[in-house]
Amino acid sequence: MFNKKSCRKCGKKIHKDFEYCPHCGYFIGDKQKEQEDYGFLGKSDVVNSFPNELRLPLGLNTLFKKLMKEMDKQFQELDREIGKEKEMTRRMPQNREDYIKQGGISINISSGAGKPVIRVKSFGNMPEFKGVETQIKNPRRTSIKPALQKIDEEKVKKLAKLPREEATSKVRRLSGKVIYELDLPDVKDIKDIIVNQLENSIEVKAFAKDKAYFKFLPVSLPLLKYQFGEGKLILELGEG
């Protein structure tokens, strides 16, 4: 009898050392003393406002307390992850577009009655694509224009009186190149040859002792190089 006490909720007799009523699950311990000894969460590390309202049986109440404790740990872990994410966000550049590398090239070709128009535009923050845009808009020719020999004015006047004759030529087409071979008999030196690259043709003039040779080649390909020997002038044309 002296080891018994009554539940304040259901009125049934229970052992005096019980903190919860085994009949209705109501907390019958000293809440103020438990908080002083174990802190705000109490002896079980859970808030005790829920069990009184839910009226759980003793077995389920213990399970509920364990679940609440596990949830508390998970919330603490979540808080740490949120803190890490905030720190990473703080260290990232203010303009997130600068942090993410992206880019590309847009090529638009429009054809009408006239010459096709090609429009090239790069986008994004990658300088490599900007360089590609510049290269497409301003292509560089790799052809090499050879240095042409100059003939002094006095020699030109003298040779201008010579009879003119059109030089014979042969043409060969190789992979990506065109080779012209001109016959210039009696021409002694490459210094007596003038080669001019015109807009849509190539002009050749050569001077022998008693005649002057000329030739127009109707090609618009760049002149890569030329060489002279044994009365033959070899011209190599192509895109390089």
The whole-number pLDDT of residue 171 equals: 92
For tokens 């050392």, what's the residue?
A: 17
Per-residue pLDDT of the chain (240 residues; tens, 9 = 90+): 567 888 888 888 888 778 778 888 787 776 555 555 554 444 554 444 444 455 555 566 677 777 778 877 877 787 778 777 777 766 665 555 555 666 666 666 665 555 566 676 776 666 665 665 565 555 543 333 455 555 667 767 777 788 999 999 999 988 788 999 999 998 988 888 889 888 888 999 888 888 999 999 988 888 888 999 889 999 998 875
> Which DSSP category does 111 fall into?
-
How many domains are contained in the chain? Answer: 3
The whole-number pLDDT of residue 78 equals: 78
In a domain, 148, yes or no: no
Residue 49 and residue 10 share a domain: yes
Residue 174 and residue 112 share a domain: no
Host domain of residue 125: 98-137
Residue 192 and residue 222 share a domain: yes
Cα–Cα distances in Å, from 17 out to 3, 4, 28, 131? 8, 9, 10, 83
**The pTM of the whole model exceeds 0.75:** no
Residue 69 and residue 130 share a domain: no
Residue 159 and residue 106 share a domain: no
Query: Last residue of some domain: 91, 107, 124?
Result: 91
The whole-number pLDDT of residue 169 equals: 92
Strands 212-217 and 164-166: parallel
Residue 108 and residue 30 share a domain: no
Name the nearest CA neighbour of 128 among 105, 109, 107.
Answer: 105
The whole-number pLDDT of residue 74 equals: 78
In a domain, 85, yes or no: yes
d(CA 208, CA 212): 6
